[in-house]
Every structure is written in C-alpha cells, then in structure tokens.
Amino acid sequence: MTFEKKKFSVYIVFTFIIGWALQIVASTFALQSKMMLFAAVLSIAMFAPLVSALIAKLDVKNVGWKPQIKKNFKYYIVCWFMPAAVSLIGAALFYIVMPGRLDLSGSYIVAQYGEEMVQQLGNEGLTPVLFAAVTAVQAITYAPVINMIFAAGEEAGWRGVMYPMLKDRLGTNKGRIAGGIIWGAWHWPVMILAGYEYGLVYWGAPFVGMAMFCICCVVMGILLDWTYEKTGSIWAPSLAHGAFNAIATAPLMLLNMEYADQQIIGPAPIGIIAMIPMILLAVLVSIETTKSK
C-alpha cells in the first residue's frame, strides 16, 4: 500500500482518539473492580484501527479477508503455536534465571482471584501447577481462535494498512520498527491508568513500562508482519495476535506474588528476560527478510 501522508495522518489521529478514549473508559471500570466491563470495553477498542482506516478512506477491502487455509496451512500452524512456544520457553528461561520467583503454592492466584479460588481448585483436585497447565492448554487449543475475531480489528488496521504504508515510506525493517512503536504507544492510557500489562507500581513506572511495551510490540510486530507477508491474509497475524494474548497470563500463575511488581522482567513474554526467545526469532525473521529483498 502506497504511503499517502494525508490519509495516514487521519488514520493515526482517529486510531489514537478512538482507542485512547475507550481505554480511558475501560480504565475507570478497572479502578472500580468492574473487570467484565473493563474487558468488554477493551475488546471494543481493538476495532479502533479498522474503524479509523475506514474513516481515513483507506483500502481495507484488499487487506486479505480470505483466509486461504489450504494454501497457507503451514503458516496458520505457525501462527497458532509459535506464540505459545516462544512464550513458554521465555517463561522457563525466566524461572531458571530467577528461581526465587517460582511459587508452586499459588500466591499469585490467591492475590488475583482470592483464597476461595484456590480452595475451590483444591476441591476439584487441581493444584496451582495443574491450574497453570490447564490455562496453558486452553491458551494453546481454542483460545487463539476466539481471540482472533477481536484481534482482526487491530490487525486489519496495523498489518493491513499501517505497516504497508510505513514500509513503503521507510523500508521494511524501519517500517516495522516504527509500526511497533506506534502500536505500543496506542496502549499507553490503559497501562498508565489501570496498570495494564505491568501493574501500577514497579521500578520506573509508568515510563519504563511504556518503553518496554513498545519494544515488545516492535518485536511481536515483526513476527506478525512476517506472517501477513507470507500468507497475504489478515487472519494469519490475527490468529498469532490472539495466540499471544491467550498465552500471556499463563506463566504468571506460578509467579511468587512477592515479585508481582517486577513483571517488567518476566515471566510473561512482555518482560525483558521472557522476551528473549521472541527477540531472537524476530532477529532471524528480519535477517531473512533483508536477504530476500
């Protein structure tokens, strides 16, 4: 897609106005502990990039709405399972490097869901470890497909419209980096107001978290854009995006709650140590892209 300054500017302005407004609304619900409403509004916010592309009169009809599953089957398999693979390897690396952060007693689950939740799990024969395993299985099996529907609202805008324009203007790798920074910054209001991703209290908050999440989005954006280029279908990065969202919280189930304010380093893939496998994969993809040009 050719870079058009006026349309691109309109797209960016409305993406942030709509997205940030909805994130502010969602954050008010989070601060009132109305988490279902918080999640619902955030889900709606995911469609801001697509809506903004329509407002800017950008071509969203040809972003690849046909999945072409048979043709791209191997790439869909990658999109489905690659996020879980790099995230779980990253979590394992984090707990190996930081063994004191591993807690098999379920203190994080207690803090998030209450003591009654752990007791109920025990009554059902589920230890915190088994609960984490069940969460991971759900994140690997059906959750990516469900999440994909909502992720498509973002991906049609980010990968379908914004990234092609930035790559046309800046070149592939620089365009991907710029796109990742924009994508990360788009999440800032809900991070600052509701503690989305890293919490509200941690070293350097909120600025370190804001910068770290931009790095995460640059890395993840490289991988998602690669899947889009390989398939020509917006559903491939949408599936991968949904898979990343699904698996992200699973490693936290075994985190010692004493270190919950240090998620900037892990064990979720948005932490710098746990992000290492994803960074390495993104570097390989970037090298492969450069060689193929």
pLDDT digits (tens, 9 = 90+) for 55-89: 999 999 999 999 999 999 999 999 999 999 999 99
Measured between alpha carbons, how far is 178 from 219 in angstroms, rounded to an integer?
11
| Over residues 14-30, mean pLDDT | 98
Measured between alpha carbons, how far is 249 from 275 in angstroms, rounded to an integer?
14
Measured between alpha carbons, how far is 219 from 255 in angstroms, rounded to an integer?
24
Whole-number pLDDT of residue 113:
75
Measured between alpha carbons, how far is 190 from 251 in angstroms, rounded to an integer?
22
Q: What three-state secondary structure class fits 255?
A: strand
DSSP string, 102-154: B-TT-HHHHHHH-HHHHHHHHHTT--HHHHHHHHHHHHHTTHHHHHHHHHHHH
> Beta partners for 196?
none
Q: Could you tell me which residue, 33 or 25, shows the higher pLDDT?
A: 25
Tell me the pLDDT of the chain averaged across its residues: 94
Centroid of chain to Cα 7? 26
Q: Binning pLDDT at 50, 70 and 90, where does residue 128 land? A: confident
Q: Binning pLDDT at 50, 70 and 90, where does residue 293 land? A: low
> Beta partners for 255?
102
Q: Binning pLDDT at 50, 70 and 90, where does residue 170 land? A: very high
Q: Binning pLDDT at 50, 70 and 90, where does residue 222 land? A: very high
